[in-house]
Amino acid sequence: MKNDLVQNYQSEKTSKSKKIFFVVSSVIVAVLILLIAIVLAKDAGSNDSYPELLNSAQKAFDEHNYDDAILYLNKAIELNDSEEARLLLAQSHAEKSEYAKAIEVLEVYLSKNKSDAVDKLLAEYRETLARLEETSFEIAGQTLKGSSNILAITGKNIPAEELELIGKLTELRSLSITSCSLEDISFLAPLTKLETLILSNNKIENIAVLENLIKLRTLYLNSNPLGDLSPLHKLKNLTTLDIGGRVIGERELLTLKNALPGCSIYSDDTTPDIKDITLGGKTFKSDVTELNLSGLKLRDISAVSACKNLVTLNLNDNLLTDLTPLLDLPKLRHLALAQNSISDITPLIGMRELVFLDLSHNSVKNIKAVSALVNLTELSLRGNPIEDFSPLLGLSALKTLNLAATGLNDESLARLRSLSKLTSLNIEDNEDLTGVAVEEFKIQMSRCSVTHSELIFTVALGGKEFRTDSEAILASELGISDISPLIQFEKLKILNISSNNIHDLGPLARVETLEVLDVSSNLVSSLAPLGGHKKLNCLLIRDNKLKTLAGLSNIPTLTELYAGDNSELNDISALEGLQNLSTLNLSNTAVSNLEALSKLGKLKTLVLENCEIENLTPLFALKNLEELYLGGNPLSEDALLEIAAQLPNCHVFN
């Protein structure tokens, strides 16, 4: 047969078709060979590039450039997940005070390998993290753990004892203390991990303590009566220095530039050179004040750091993770960063001129850096999984705030009342918000327009609170007698109100979304309120005061019914129309007439134990029945033999 098909197929094809077929086949083979060659070439070069990546990472680490070190090491590990690379990666995270991440890096390695060195470092980091988490400090109205790596304080008079506490936060990487009349900064000496330090608008003269903070990359000392600048000469890792407001001579400035050749220095006497910059296919001048780089799939924006005069920058819809280059843009007022891959916004701590910031749809959890942006009037954090909203409370200039889909809850919403200038607030898509909290906020903040999703309220049942958007309620054994509050639940699918004191199911007539209902062990005598339900498929009504099942005939979706232990139940005629029933339990009732069951052709399990049944004839038609329980009925042996013969595929239990 196969040969015939092949011959027919070949006879239908022209020689031209054959030629095309072979040409296409040859091309495909050639392409495959080329692809294989490329892959092999790539693999062949992988081993060569691993040492280079590791060397680059080590160099970056030695220069205290831990972000670059982490970047190189992640690439190296893709090629060779070595002990050496893992150890250096963990150390890089630890230097950034990211001990949890460092621990994760080591644990992943140990899940596949054994290493004494990794075990030792892991134990050290676990101990360090535990110790830091146990320690906490109260500073300028903020509660900080010993593991904190960012702190921002603006416009407060900080007591000397609290300044000493700041010196104990030895994991700090970013510190901003602005407009605080600060004079003595000797408390900074222990903070050797600092990479960003912002001390703008204070009364600082002596900066000798800074010479030992050699990991500093960004330093703002503008608007201070600075004295001797020579301590800055030792900060070889500086990339940004602002000493605006301090009179500086040409020779002194030249000396400073020579000491810090890789640093952009801002003073009242510097004029930057203008050059052409190309990024993402766009070319622009370095003195540009407005720049739109949205939608260019950018990963690296280092080139933007040369644009010192930028006031407005749009970086929406890119692939950014690192905002460090923005530290060099002190004049920025409008910054759009929506739809990127940003999780760390620490570099924003120095951008005190910002009035507009859009961080929508990123991966930001920690927003402590935002607390330093005291001039913000418009902020969007939409679509970020924010863990703590308290950094927003000091942004007294805020007028527009978008916190949609951020995990905002009632408590955090209430605290936002301190933002007295707020005129617009978006809190849509926050599942933990309740209607009561939102309504109360709207009353308290009457001048603020609040955009929110459908309001969700809580309703008390038996002393227990349930959200009105609940799809399932488990409220058994709560002493409930009145179920009228249930009419407020428009999405309810599963309801368990068993073992209560319920007489009347009337309110359930309006809860038409129910799919599973358990009202067992109550005092119900009528099922009429359930008659209009079109979605109910499982009903448990055992152990009530039922005499009839009237009301169920109009529930065609019902597939499971458990009505046992209703000792006075004898009328089951309402079951006649329930063509989809597959499971039925009528045990321990007064049922004797089974005529209503004769048309229930989909029944598979039928429990009729301890009833008053003498005649099984109506069951002969139930050919799909698989299990039949008849124990405790006044049935003759002949009747049992006959039902077994009529339903040969059914297990009859007596």
Say if residues 394 and 372 touch (Cβ distance below 8 Å): no
Angle between helices 99-110 and 83-95 (to 10 degrees): 170
pLDDT at 272: 62
Average pLDDT over residues 185-203: 94
Average pLDDT over residues 80-90: 94
Q: Which residues contact 432 (CB under 8 A, 6 or more apart)?
A: 407, 408, 409, 410
Distance CA 592, CA 608 (A): 10
- Render pLDDT for 483-522 as a digit per residue (tens, 0 to 9): 999 999 999 999 999 999 999 999 999 999 999 999 999 9
Average pLDDT over residues 274-295: 91
Position with higher pLDDT, 602 vs 45: 602
- In CATH terms, is domain 276-398 a member of 3.30.9.10? no
Say if residues 67 and 324 touch (Cβ distance below 8 Å): yes
Position with higher pLDDT, 242 vs 133: 242
Question: May I ask the CATH architecture of the domain 46-134?
Answer: Alpha Horseshoe (1.25)
Q: Is the pLDDT of residue 20 over 60?
A: no
Count CB atoms within 10 A of the CB of residue 526: 17
**Residue 228 burial (CB < 10 Å; 0-12/13-18/19+)?**
exposed
pLDDT at 72: 92
Position with higher pLDDT, 468 vs 386: 386
pLDDT at 321: 92
- Render pLDDT for 103-130 as a digit per residue (tens, 0 to 9): 999 999 988 999 999 999 999 999 888 8
pLDDT band at 271 (very low <50, low <70, confident <90, very high): low
DSSP annotation of 39 reads H
In words, the CATH class of domain 525-653 is alpha beta
Q: Which residues contact 557 (CB under 8 A, 6 or more apart)?
A: 533, 534, 535, 536, 537, 580
pLDDT band at 328 (very low <50, low <70, confident <90, very high): confident
Fold adopted by 136-266 = 3.80.10
pLDDT at 154: 85
**Residue 365 burial (CB < 10 Å; 0-12/13-18/19+)?**
middle
pLDDT at 130: 86
pLDDT at 21: 37
Average pLDDT over residues 376-404: 96
Strands (E) in 348-486, as ranges, are 356-358, 378-380, 400-402, 424-426, 449-451, 458-461, 464-467, 472-474
Helix (H) or strand (E) holding 73: helix 66-79
Average pLDDT over residues 385-402: 95
Could you tell me which of 369, 54, 320 has the C-alpha nearest to residue 218? 369
pLDDT band at 350 (very low <50, low <70, confident <90, very high): confident
pLDDT at 421: 96
In this structure, what token pair is assigned to residue 283? 């070319």
**517-526: long-range contacts at Cβ-Cβ below 8 A with a sequence spacing of 24 or more?**
518/476, 519/544, 520/544, 520/562, 522/497, 522/498, 526/550, 526/551
% of the chain with per-residue pLDDT over 90: 71
Asked if the domains at 136-266 and 276-398 fall in one CATH topology, the answer is yes
Residue 111 Ramachandran class (φ > 0 left, ψ -120 to 50 alpha, else beta): alpha
pLDDT at 5: 30
Average pLDDT over residues 619-633: 96
pLDDT band at 567 (very low <50, low <70, confident <90, very high): very high
What does the domain layout of the chain look like in residue ranges?
46-134, 136-266, 276-398, 525-653
Q: In sequence order, what DSSP letters do the residues of 160-202 get, joined into one string?
A: HHHHHHHTT-TT-SEEEEESS-----GGGTT-TT-SEEE--SS
